Amino acid sequence: MTQLVLGQVLNGAIIGAMYGIIALGITLTFGITGIVNFALGEFMMIGAYVTYTLAERGMPYPVAVVPACLIAAAAGYLSNKAFFRFTRNNLVNGLLVSIGLISIFESASMLLWTATPVEMHFVLPGALRVGDIGLPKMKLVVFAVIVVVIVATYFALARTWLGRAAFAYAQNPEAAMLMGVHTPRLETAVMLYSTGLAGLGGALYASLYSLEPAMGGVYVLKGMEAAILGGIGSLMGSLWGGVILGVIEGVGSIFLPTAFRDAYGLAVLVAILLFRPSGLFGDE
């Protein structure tokens, strides 16, 4: 039993990191620009399918990840220019635009790739065995990449002028603009980065799981949970929120029915929000 639980703690942490990368996109977009982008899962889907398409046509997987992120970011840029920039600080409008975009992107991917699930060739087959615990090697790589990306994003925002500008914009856009921050450009940069991150999440996802047009929906909800659990606006909180969520789901599934796996994370989220309404790492 100990091995089973330990295995799920490790596995949950890895899965949670996947939630974390979407959570990071959510926390950046909402925390800085005030835009609610529930369609982030669709940018993840774009990244996943682009990676799959390129990799199956012979492009090495690490190379295919780059255009996947760029295409997802480009789709994010267009979505921002066409819709999202008009929804700043308006939850309902952001939600409506997101629902519309989810429908459009899902239908487009149905046309392009059909509803048939597709699975990429194994990028890194096999599992690392420690006692009775088996951890797929690719999952470990994915975990490492996500941790590096989130930590790098944290330092980039905490230690650079751009990061300070972003935080200033989040606190008071008018004041930030008066202090020389080019706010429309900043907003675009945040959108590009968050959707590019979602594209990266999708590219990593494609190396682990099968793809289908509706895949984004589940992950954006998990990302949302992770972002709220970690505290909206907290970059490291998004990683920790995802990891905690993943571990709760994994370990909960050992002792309780797996049919309600999603509920375990939600129950803990509600319990934590009762005591810390701004999340574990959010500002009070």
Partner 1 sequence: MIHPIRAFIATATALMAMVLVPAATPASAQDVVKIGQIEAQTGANAIYGWMSSQGAALAVDEINKAGGFKVGNKTYKIQLIALDTRGEPKEATVQLKKLVEVDQAKYIFGPFLSNVFLAVRPYAAEFNGKLLMWGGATRIHDYVGTPGHEFLMRTWNWDAGKNGFGELMVDNLVKTTGAKKVAMLFQNDQGGKVLEDIYVPMFKQKGIEYRLDYFEPGTKDFSAVLAKIGAWKPDFLFPSYADSYLYDIVRQATETGQLTKFFLVRGSLGPGLKNKDGIEEYMVYVPKYFEEAEKKDPKVAKFVKAYKDFYKRDFPYDQAPLCSASCYDHVYMLVEAMKKAGTVDDPAAVKKALMSMTYDGMWKIRFDDKGEAIFNFDVVRLKKGGALEVTHINPN
Query: Which residues of this chain interact with partner 1, rule CB under 8 A?
Result: 4, 7-8, 11-12, 15, 106-107, 110, 114-117, 119, 125-127, 134-136, 208-210, 212-215, 217-218, 249-251, 253-254, 257-262
| d(C-alpha 226, C-alpha 243), whole Å | 8
Nearer to partner 1 among residue 162 and residue 218 (C-beta): 218
Beta carbon nearer to partner 1, 187 or 249:
249
CB of 208 to partner 1, least distance (A): 8
Closest separation in Å from C-beta 35 to partner 1: 26
Q: Distance (Å, rounded) from C-alpha 85 to C-alpha 182? A: 15
DSSP β-bridge partners for residue 133 = 130
Least Å from the CB of residue 148 to partner 1:
21
Report how far residue 200's alpha carbon sits from residue 151's, in angstroms, rounded to the nearest whole number: 15
Q: Which helix (H) or strand (E) holds 129?
A: strand 127-130
Q: Which is nearer to partner 1, 62 or 119 (by Cβ)?
A: 119
Cα 68–Cα 14–Cα 155 angle in degrees, nearest 5? 70
Please say which residue, 82 or 128, places its beta carbon nearer to partner 1: 128
Which residue number, 124 or 158, has a Cβ lying nearer to partner 1?
Answer: 124
Residue 44 CB: number of other CB atoms within 10 A?
Answer: 31
Look at residue 212 and give its three-state secondary structure.
Answer: coil
Q: Which is nearer to partner 1, 128 or 152 (CB)?
A: 128
Distance of CA 31 to the CA centre of its chain: 14
Where does residue 221 rank: exposed (0-12), middle (13-18), buried (19+ CB within 10 A)? middle
Least distance between partner 1 and beta carbon 11 (Å):
5
Q: How far is the CB of 272 from partner 1 (least distance, A)?
A: 21
| Nearest Cα residue to 39 out of 31, 51, 50, 29 | 29
Strand partners, 266: none
d(CA 46, CA 213): 9
Question: Judged by CB, which is closer to partner 1: 152, or 263?
Answer: 263
Task: Yes or no: say if 84 and 191 are a contact pair by the CB < 8 Å rule.
Answer: yes
- Measuring CA to CA, which residue among 215, 232, 217 is closest to residue 278? 232
| Closest CB 263 distance from partner 1, rounded Å | 9
Q: Smallest distance from the beta carbon of 161 to partner 1, in angstroms?
A: 39
